[in-house]
Amino acid sequence: MHILLTNDDGIEAPGLRALLEALKQIARVAVFAPDHNWSAAGHTKTMHKPLRVDPYPLEGAAEAYVSTGAPSDCVALALLGILSERPDLVVSGINQGPNLGHDITYSGTVAGAMEAVIFGLPAISVSLDSYESHDFAFAAQVAVQVVNLVSEQGLPPGHFLNVNVPCRPPEEIAGVAITRLGRRVYRDILIERYDPRQRPYYWIGGEPPTGHQDEGTDIWAMAHGYVSITPIHLDMTAYELIPILEQWRFDKMIATK
Ligand SMILES: [Mn+2]
């Protein structure tokens, strides 16, 4: 098996190193990661400036590159020809912090998996439910099990798995839950400051998000100690709205003769 490993916390992040250590036991691993932290970069495609790519010495990796691009750029650069061979699967993580509910629309970690799916490859994004703990060992073992199952069973085109792992000792893990996306509650606040020329500038700050504890969601799983595996489809169409919108008679907007 040949795996492409990326992340959004940057090539030096401990979560990436832990995942490399675990994945190299079961696969040839190529690493292609950003040169700095791109957390909350979303699904970026860099179009207005050039991208640099440099080989990076990384023990345990069959080949490794660092880039000035976002995580999604890294996956694209790798798959468009910089890697010496096409991988079977793309793994993104392990992220420092959870990616639950609406987070996936902001997440650079998840965007790495989305980019892989667009390239027609199965993918997994992996996050640890802690912004502080550097103990990624258990989450890395979970990732290996998920990779083995995906490799065995396959995923339908257009899909990937978003995996979140609670930050608690393995003996306190409640189990594995197949989940749906929950509803985040963001606690962002507007912070206004002034530069030396008295012009205001802004930060979007505040406490980390909470979320609704709807049973069966990824947010519920974290709160109850379950490893959460959410299948994600890139088709975001709201199918249930199609027949309703058809009744709106949008055709009346077009003046017909
Ligand atoms: Mn991150």
Residues with CB under 5 A from ligand 1 (ion): 8-9, 39, 95
Residue 45 lies in a domain: yes
Residue 191 lies in a domain: no
* Domain range for 221: 2-183+212-253
At residue 231, the 3 state secondary structure works out as: strand
Residue 169 lies in a domain: yes
Beta strands 123-128; 159-165: pairing state? parallel
Residue 194 lies in a domain: no
Residue 166 lies in a domain: yes
Residue 153 lies in a domain: yes
Burial 35-57 (b: 16+ CB within 10 A, else e): beebbebbbbeeeeeeeebeebe
Residue 200 lies in a domain: no
CATH number at residue 117: 3.40.1210.10
122-146 pLDDT, tens digit per residue, is 999 999 999 999 999 999 999 999 9
CA of 38 to the centre of ligand 1 (A): 6
50-93 pLDDT, tens digit per residue, is 999 999 999 999 999 999 999 999 999 999 999 999 999 999 99
CA of 164 to the centre of ligand 1 (A): 13
Total number of domains constituting the chain: 1
CA of 222 to the centre of ligand 1 (A): 17
Per-residue pLDDT of the chain (257 residues; tens, 9 = 90+): 999 999 999 999 999 999 999 999 999 999 999 999 999 999 999 999 999 999 999 999 999 999 999 999 999 999 999 999 999 999 999 999 999 999 999 999 999 999 999 999 999 999 999 999 999 999 999 999 999 999 999 999 999 999 999 999 999 999 999 999 999 999 999 999 999 999 999 999 999 999 999 999 999 999 999 999 999 999 999 999 999 999 998 888 887 66
Going across the sheet that includes 226-233, the strands are 53-55, 63-67, 28-34, 2-6, 89-96, 123-128, 159-165, 226-233, 175-178
Residue pair 3/91 in contact (Cβ under 8 Å)? The answer is: yes
What is the amino acid identity at position 228? Answer: S
